Each structure stands twice: as C-alpha cells, then as structure tokens.
A = this chain, B = another copy of it.
Amino acid sequence: MIDIPQRHQGKRPRVTIVDVANGAGVHVSTASRALNPGTSHRISSKVVRKIEKVAEQLGYKRNTLASSLRTQKTGTIGLIVPNLSDPLFSPIIASVEERVAEDGYVTFVANSDYSPVKLRSIIERMSSQFVAGLVVASFELNDPSVELCLELGIPTVAVLRDPRHPRMSSISMDDVSGVQALVEHILDLGHRDISYVTPPLAASTAQNRLAGFNAATRLAKAAGCRFDVVEARAYDVAEGERIMAHMLASGLTSTAVLAFNDLLAVGCLVALKSAGISCPEQISLTGVNDLPFMNMLSPPLTTLHTAGRDLGLEGADLLMSLIKNLSQPIKRVLLTPHLVLRGSTGPVRKRGSDADPSPVAVQSGAITG
C-alpha cells in the first residue's frame, strides 16, 4: 500500500530568489537589488518591473532567515511583560504590535512571570535570535538585566516599570502624583484613618505609589491622622482577598483602604463582601489601573487610569527611533494617570451618627483565605 499522508500532501516547494532571477533572465544579485526598496532605484525600472512581475507570478516570499543572517539584522522586536494574563498588559501588547508593524517589524511576546531570572534568560534568548530591539515591562529597580541589554547592544525601552538606570529610557505613569491625588481625594472625603496595601518594593511602580502615599500623608500625619501600610506578597485578586481578611481579623480601624492596583482592590472587595462590610458606607476602597469592567463592579471602583495603549505606543515609538539611531539622549517620560472617581469611595461616616461601633467588627468565621 502506498502511504499517503492524511494532511498537507500539497506541500508546495518554496520559491527562492534564484527562481525569480532565472524566470526573469537576470542574475540573482540584480533580482535581490530589484526586490529591495533600498536598492531598487539602482536597477532600470524596466528590469525592476519584469522582476517584480515574475516574483509575483511565482509567489516569491523573501526568506527572512537568510536575509537576516546576511544583513545581521532582523525585522523582529521583543516585548516582555511580567504576566501575560493580567488585563493591564493587553492594550500594551496590542499597541506595541500595532506601532512596530507600521515600520515593518513583528513582535515576539514573552512572559517573565515576575522573575528576574526568567527575564534574563528571555533577553538572552531574544538576543540570540537577533531581535532589533526590546520593549520591557518587567524591569525591577536596579535590575541587572538592564546592564545585560546595554552590553548586548540591544536598543531597549522600559515601559510601565522604570528601572531608573541612567542609560535606559522609559515610559511610565506618574505614580507618585497619581496616588497623591488619590489620597487627597480620600482626605477631602473626611477620612482620617487610611491604609495602603503595597506589594514588595521590587519595581518602580510599587516604590512610587508608596512614595505618593507617604508624601500625601506626611502633613496630615502631623495633624493627627492615622495612616498604615500593609504588605502584600503578590499582585492578584486572591492576595487582595487574603490581605483584607487578615486586616479585618487584626482589627482594622481604617475607614478607607487604598490598594496598589485594581486586582488587589477587587480581592479586598470580595473579602469585604464576605465579611458583610459595605463599601463605601463602612470602608472606602480604591485601586490603580482602571482595568476593563472596573466601572461595572458593585460598587464601581474608584481608581487611577493607566493609559496602557499610550504606554505601548510611546514605548514602541521611542524604540523605533532608537533602532534608527542608538546615540540619542536618554528620555524618561511620565504620563499622567487621571483620577477616576466612582462609587467605591464616599464620605466618611459622621462619628456617632447611625451607630455601629468602630473599629469595624467582624466575626472570625466570616474571614476567608
């Protein structure tokens, strides 16, 4: 019996530039020049047309592998994010892809999983694949991978997280003033006991948001207000739930809780609900990022809007210009996050009105996580 593969039997042979050259009756070097935008002007337009026609008819596609090997440059850029599943990165991925495609580049996306070790190995792998440049959303502060990119000579732009390296350009959100505005809004609402949930201070985002919190609370602290910082271990909903349950169990006195990001805030909200505590009546809550659907929660979440699409577009744009000219001044761009006021924040309860003994009491049985 003849063994016919059940699929793909029609594998068609690949057309090379040699086929095109033969078909057009010219030398391969002529065909190559004609088919390259940068050199086609050196060939008589009649011959160019002929070659283009033959290439079209034969369905010729340049072998980018061979081309890249020869020219030592590829049409690919790498994009590294710390968590592919976090909705925060969707618009960043989409917009980087879009912007670099304008210049004919394609994008490799990789997930560093919040690990500096994985980040390093991804960078090394991408370098060995000759990416033309890198957009990195995974850098931590003083991340040794920054030096690696510089040593390897790969044009690189940091987005979202700024490694704060004197030779690395970055596009990030102005977290300090953003969180400051958030705290001021909370103070305006009359809150005098506020907690902030921070992740480990590995990245600029974590450090800057804490700095914003501290800056805003410094004066108020002198005036007798109470501020507390609680450390989370991760960035996700589950951790937010755990932290809030823990805070409640330890006798939380705050009337407002600011979370590092929306995911933690949503987790806090879950824990508040299962403890039977109403938001914002008993506790006001805020996040950061303004992820999709945050306007549809119950209550809708007050947050800072992170312009993911702008981060991606500006980052990719800067990378494109860096690829054209590496020797340009380092830039550190801050985009202003805007405050999105929604239902999860409200005026602090007047003392003595409405009863209900503070601090917030909660049955230990109601605590999850």
Which residues in A have some Cβ–Cβ distance to B below 8 Å?
Answer: 3, 5-8, 10-12, 61-66, 68-69, 74, 84-87, 90-91, 93-94, 97-98, 106-111, 124-125, 127-130, 150-155, 167, 266, 269-270, 291-294, 296-299, 326-330
Contacts of A130 in B (CB 8 A): 63, 65
The answer on a CB contact under 8 Å between B127 and A10 is: no
Copy total for this chain:
2
Give the residues in chain B near A129, CB-CB below 8 Å.
64-65, 106
Q: Judge whether B93 and A84 touch: CB under 8 Å.
A: yes
Asked if A153 meets B108 with Cβ closer than 8 Å, knowing A69-B69, A167-B7, the reply is no
Task: Decide: A3 and B327 in contact? CB cutoff 8 A.
Answer: yes
Give A8 Cβ to nearest chain B Cβ, in Å: 5
Contacts of A11 in B (CB 8 A): 151-153
8 Å CB contact of A293 from B5, B152, B293:
B293
* From B3, B64, B155, B326, contact of A128 by CB (8 A): B64
Query: Among the listed B66, B128, B150, B328, which residue makes an inter-chain contact with A69, where contact means beta carbons less than 8 Å apart?
Result: B66
> Does the CB pair B7–A326 fall under 8 Å?
yes
Contact A7 B65 (CB under 8 A): no
List 18 other contacts, CB 8 Å, given A62-B128, A85-B91: A3-B327, A5-B326, A5-B327, A6-B327, A7-B150, A7-B167, A11-B153, A61-B127, A63-B130, A93-B109, A97-B109, A97-B110, A106-B110, A106-B129, A109-B109, A266-B296, A296-B297, A298-B299
- State in angstroms the CA–CA spacing of A329 and B111 once bound together: 33
Q: Which residues of B contact A98 (CB under 8 A)?
A: 111
- Rounded to whole Å, the gap between the CB of A55 and the closest CB of chain B is 13
A295 to chain B, nearest CB (A): 9
